[in-house]
Amino acid sequence: MIFQSLIAINIGFKYTDIFTKLRIYKFGLKSVDLKYSYYDRSDGLNPNIFSVGFKFVLD
C-alpha cells in the first residue's frame, strides 16, 4: 500500500440578509456563500477550487 501526503486549506465566507433588502425583480437575495479550497498532494495534484452560491426567496 502506498501512502500519500495531503495538505488542505479551506476558507469560507457566508453573508445572510435576514430582511432580504437586496432585490432583483421579485426575488430577494437571502444569502451569499463564498468558498476557497487548496490541496497539495504528494502525487503532484495541486488544485485551487473557488465556489460561489446564492440563495433567493420569491416575494
How many structural domains compose the chain? 1
What is the model's pTM? 0.70
Residue 1 lies in a domain: no
Residues 6-50 have pLDDT tens digits of: 889 999 999 998 888 888 888 888 999 999 999 988 888 899 999
Grid-cell match 495531503, residue found:
6
Please determine, for residue 2, whether its predicted confidence score (pLDDT) is greater than 80: no
DSSP string, 8-52: EEEEEEEEE-TT---EETTEEEEEEEEEEEEEEETTS---EEEEE
Evaluate whether 54 touches 36 at the Cβ level (below 8 Å): no
Residue 34 lies in a domain: yes
Residue 30 lies in a domain: yes
- Other beta carbons less than 10 A from residue 41's beta carbon: 13
Please determine, for residue 1, whether its predicted confidence score (pLDDT) is greater than 60: no
Helix (H) or strand (E) holding 58: strand 48-58
Domain membership of residue 53 as a residue range: 6-58
pLDDT at residue 52 in the model: 97
